[in-house]
Amino acid sequence: MDDFGTELRRRREAAGLSLTDLAQRVRYSKSHLSKIESGAKRPSGPLARSCDVALAADGALTRLVPGRPGPRASAPPPAQAWTVAVDGTDAAAFTPAGVSAYLLGGLTGAGRGASSGDRTGEAEAALPLVRAWFDQLRLLGQTSRPAALGPLLVSTTGFLRELAEASRPPARQQALRLAARIAEYTGWMAQERGNDAAAAWWTDHAVELAVAGGNAELRAYALVRRAELALYRDDALGAVQLAQEARAARCGARTRGLAAQREAQGYALMGDEAGCRRALAEAADLLAQSAGDDDEPALGSTSAPDPMRFATAWSLHDLGRLDESAEILDAELDLLPPTARRARARYAARLALALAGQRQLERAAAVVGPALETVRSVDSATARYDLRQLNRVVRRWRDDEAVRRLMPALTSALRVAPAR
């Protein structure tokens, strides 16, 4: 990271700032910045963004800090399928099984329906019920651990696969498209579990199901999901490139709007405010156009009244506009229903991060305190991403009474629940 340290020193001196001056602006210690400039320490993404803002570097410093590598494209399918074993006492247990054996049959041709009987009538009767069941599963995902929800999602996907393979069009295509949406949501739950490789695999499998069902929309949306994964790795350039690729694909206005949101967040992570605001405006226009343009389950978040506001607040935080970000998040947090526990935890974590960055430590602790137990109970990796940044920020003032009260619960919430 010698390039970063050299560029930081060059820009600091060009701005006429001493190390003490810069330390006061970015709220890192002078000794820490000295080690960064000498190359003795690696800069973090948040530090690089703070320096970009303090030195008006337009993202030049952030671009010198690489994001974490993403999941390998050739990653093997995760062991996230389950079979059910029932013994003589009628006790049942979910047992991990190979995904390829459980879900990955051929998706083209007439399927295996000829040998097992025509189930078209069953599919036509079952699909509305499964759609309603999926809506309930998404609500359950706001209050339950991904590990607990996984078996339900996988078995539902498997049921629809089997039903599709024994049905005639159009029931076959409808079953495959619904299976694709459930598989995509399974990928989101894998991300919340902290397993990016599994999230990428399930998203790719959703594309396979959707294409077989005659709907290529998820092919573009998969790029949006990968852009989101890149953001959580602090890979700003990767997020922008994936989002732009999604926007260039043949897809609906909602998918292009969600892609524009990710592009804006990537620009914010780079420190490019003009690019960020342009992409946010384009996202708002596209999402407004998309209202009611799809009778299938909605892609993206459905728990927040206005996800556009969350993307805006996220971007403003990364641009260093902490007061504006906090104002939006404070208002939006009040609008989330109490049942949206996972979403409330994410909003509260980012709001606390914005407040702590302004040294409003008492208020940050009050906001995030109730969310910490939620993060533990629902096992939210995305909320922990912000909590890790919050932990780094508040430790600079570890002698503050509010910070001392907060630290035990914050440390506990950052512990990843063991796999079961």
Model confidence at 70: pLDDT above 80: no
Tell me which range, 278-282, 339-343, 357-361, 416-420, is most confidently predicted by mean pLDDT: 278-282
**What is the per-residue pLDDT for 97?**
42
| C-alpha–C-alpha distance, residues 152 and 38, integer Å | 52
What are the residues whose beta carbons fall under 8 Å from the beta carbon of 401, sequence distance 6 or more? none
Which residue shows structure tokens 């596209």?
286
Angle among Cα 204, 207, 213 to the nearest 5 degrees reads 150
**What is the per-residue pLDDT for 69?**
56
**What is the per-residue pLDDT for 82?**
40
Q: Which residues of 242-267 are buried (b: 16+ CB within 10 A; e: fewer)?
A: bbbebbebebbbbbbbbbbbbbbbbb
CB neighbourhood size of 110 (10 A)? 10
Question: Where residue 305 falls among pLDDT bands split at 50, 70, 90?
Answer: confident
Model confidence at 76: pLDDT above 70: no
Question: Where residue 30 falls among pLDDT bands split at 50, 70, 90?
Answer: confident
Model confidence at 302: pLDDT above 90: no
Question: Where residue 31 falls among pLDDT bands split at 50, 70, 90?
Answer: confident
pLDDT tens-digit map of 336-381: 999 899 999 999 999 999 999 889 999 999 999 999 999 999 999 9
Question: Where residue 71 falls among pLDDT bands split at 50, 70, 90?
Answer: low
**What is the per-residue pLDDT for 326?**
95
pLDDT more than 90, % of the chain: 46
Q: How is residue 201 written in tokens? A: 């695999």
What's the whole-number average pLDDT of the chain? 83
User: How far lies 242's CA from each of 67, 283, 302, 315, 411, in Å?
Assistant: 14, 15, 23, 17, 34
Question: Where residue 275 falls among pLDDT bands split at 50, 70, 90?
Answer: very high
| C-alpha–C-alpha distance, residues 160 and 154, integer Å | 10
Model confidence at 246: pLDDT above 90: yes
Model confidence at 103: pLDDT above 80: no
Instruction: Tell me the residue length of the chain.
Output: 420
The H-or-E segment that residue 333 falls in is helix 322-335
pLDDT more than 70, % of the chain: 85
**What is the per-residue pLDDT for 417?**
59
**What is the per-residue pLDDT for 79?**
41
What's the burial of 107, exposed, middle or buried (CB within 10 Å: 0-12/13-18/19+)? Answer: middle
Among residues 149, 177, 181, 184, the alpha carbon closest in space to that of 163 is found at 177
- 243, 230 in Cβ contact below 8 A? no
List the single range of 71-75, 180-184, 333-337 with lowest mean pLDDT.
71-75
DSSP secondary structure of 133-176: HHHHHHHHTTTS-HHHHHHHHHHHHHHHHHHHHT--TTHHHHHH
Q: Which residues of 65-93 are buried (b: 16+ CB within 10 A; e: fewer)?
A: bebeebbeeeeebbebbbeeeeeeeeeee
| C-alpha–C-alpha distance, residues 6 and 39, integer Å | 8
**What is the per-residue pLDDT for 120?**
93
**What is the per-residue pLDDT for 137?**
93
Q: Under DSSP, is residue 234 helix (H, G, I), strand (E, B) or coil? A: coil
Model confidence at 37: pLDDT above 70: yes
User: How far lies 250's CA from each of 180, 266, 289, in Å?
Assistant: 18, 22, 16
Model confidence at 65: pLDDT above 50: yes
Model confidence at 75: pLDDT above 50: no
**What is the per-residue pLDDT for 116?**
56
Question: Where residue 181 falls among pLDDT bands split at 50, 70, 90?
Answer: very high
Model confidence at 419: pLDDT above 60: no
| C-alpha–C-alpha distance, residues 105 and 101, integer Å | 8
